[in-house]
Structure 1
Amino acid sequence: MLAEYYEQIEVLVTNITLGILFLLIGLAIRDVLNRSSVPKFGRIIVWMVLFLGCFGFIAKGIIQVVWEVGV
């Protein structure tokens, strides 16, 4: 039974791992921004770049699912 769902389990674990990685990156960036004297504009740019990276990852997943269902 496990062999049947091996690919789905692999995709799920990969997505969870990447989500945890994004979380840890966010926590590290927050710590660095809090310890240094970064101006407000710089903080906004840093968080925007991090958000766009996460958004791109999520959009890629959605596009991949739609593409596979449509084909």
Structure 2
Amino acid sequence: MLNEYYEQIEAIVLNLTLVALFALMGYAIHDVLKKNDVPFIGRAVVYLVLFLGAAGFIAKGLIQVFWQNNGV
């Protein structure tokens, strides 16, 4: 049974690992910004960059799902 769902399990584990990595990066960035008393605009820019990186992975996943469903 495991062999039948190997690719699906692999995709789920990859996605969960990416979520965990982005969460850990967010926590590490938050800690560094808090300890160094970075102003609000600096924090906003850093979080925006982190969010855009995560959004790129989400967009890639959505594009991949749409293409696979259309047979491309």
Bin for the TM-score computed over the shorter chain? over 0.9
Cα distance in 1 for residues equivalent to 2:54 and 2:19: 9
Alignment of 1:1-71 (within 5 A): 1-71=1-71
Cα distance in 2 for residues equivalent to 1:53 and 1:38: 21
The normalised TM-score by structure 2 is 0.95
1:28-60 deviations in whole A, cap 9, x for unaligned?
000000000212111110000001011111111
Deviation above 4 Å: which 4+ runs of structure 1? Answer: none
Structure 2 gaps, min length 5: none
The normalised TM-score by structure 1 is 0.96
Cα distance in 1 for residues equivalent to 2:17 and 2:40: 31
Structure 1 gaps, min length 5: none
The total of aligned residue pairs comes to: 71
